[in-house]
Amino acid sequence: MKNNNQDKSRLGKFSLLTLVAIYFLILVGGIVRSTGSGMGCPDWPKCFGSWVPPTELSDLPPNYKEVYSQKRAAKNIKLAKYLNAIGFDATASRIVNDESILEEADFNPTKTWIEYLNRLVGVAIGLLVIGTFLFSIPFRKTEPSVFYLSLGSLILVIFQGWVGSLVVSTNLIPFMVSIHMIIAIVIVFLLSVIVIKTNPQLKFASKRSKYLKNILILCMLVMFIQIVLGTQVRESIDQIAASLSSRHLWIENLGIEFIIHRSFSWVVLLINVYLIYTLYKLNILNQTAKALLAVVLITIITGVIMAYFNIPAMVQPIHLLLGTMGIGLQFFLFLQLKKQEPVTA
């Protein structure tokens, strides 16, 4: 029993570390997007055909744009076949026929190294997920759910790496970027379950747990809708930025999706405030709930800053990270709730 407790404690700490690291990777990914460094490396997993990216244009062949454009075109044809097979015909057609997808960006050493460091962080996170899986092996018979959750996390991270390569080959097409983001959220959810299962002291009882869980489900649904709306705004900004380099013109050129996203933030705030108020009335307002409220408030503040201060590049990744943390904390709080045991005489 002692060894089992030690194994569970080790896995609990390691999975928590991995969960925090995933959030850090999301932040780094946001920095890549906000600096326009997503195509800093036109191939994957190498960068300009090398494990160590170049620092000078002279390190590349004169026809490097044509070379990597052709490689991406071949990869996109294969991707289009998969998409056609599952019914995404319109997206497949765009990937194959949209010539802008194959336009190669000019070499920029700063953007290249930002993207390359993002990949290095991704590799480090991958190693942490592998470690989580290895620590879960002793539980494959005693607590198989922990083992399979860890295995699922590992499989998803590998799949996420493949999707990342497609994000590059499709030149950051919004459809692929959104899938990349959703997978990251699912990985956060899986790791959160592992953390709770291996740290039972994190759970707390409530006689109204079913009611609270229903509120949390509603909160997560509302937050997910807001994330999707935010993704659409991000896609619009990418399109506008391609033709307008001046950031002060971006907001005024956004359409209805921005107005909906901005207005919907009130729904997000009110439903989460009601959740916090309910927890307070039940005297079970824990640290996760307090962190959730802080994250929601700061997310809205960063959104206001972006709307009124021309979308500062340094605020974009923070806004993205906080949105992901919001739904992650909601799910974590959902997992922490358990039924209150009946009092026996």
Over the stretch 4-25, which tens digit does the pLDDT of each residue have? 677 788 899 999 999 999 999 9
Closest CA to 110 of 57, 62, 60, 68: 57
pLDDT (average), residues 162-182:
78
342 pLDDT higher than 80? no
Residue 166 has pLDDT above 90, yes or no: no
Backbone angles phi, psi at 337, to 5 degrees: -70, 135
Mean pLDDT for the stretch of residues 197-215: 88
pLDDT in tens, 47-92: 888 888 888 888 888 888 888 888 888 888 888 888 888 887 887 8
Mean pLDDT of all residues in 257-270: 93
Q: Name the pLDDT band for 172 (thresholds 50, 70, 90).
A: low
pLDDT, mean of residues 322-334: 95
> What pLDDT shows up at residue 312?
87
Supply the pLDDT for residue 345. Answer: 42
Of 15-24, 49-58, 134-143, 185-194, which range is least confident? 49-58
Q: What percent of the chain has pLDDT over 90?
A: 43
pLDDT over threshold 60, residue 343: no
pLDDT tens for each residue of 93-124: 888 887 777 777 788 889 899 989 988 999 99
To which residue do tokens 């930002």 refer? 114
pLDDT confidence band for 207 (50 / 70 / 90): confident
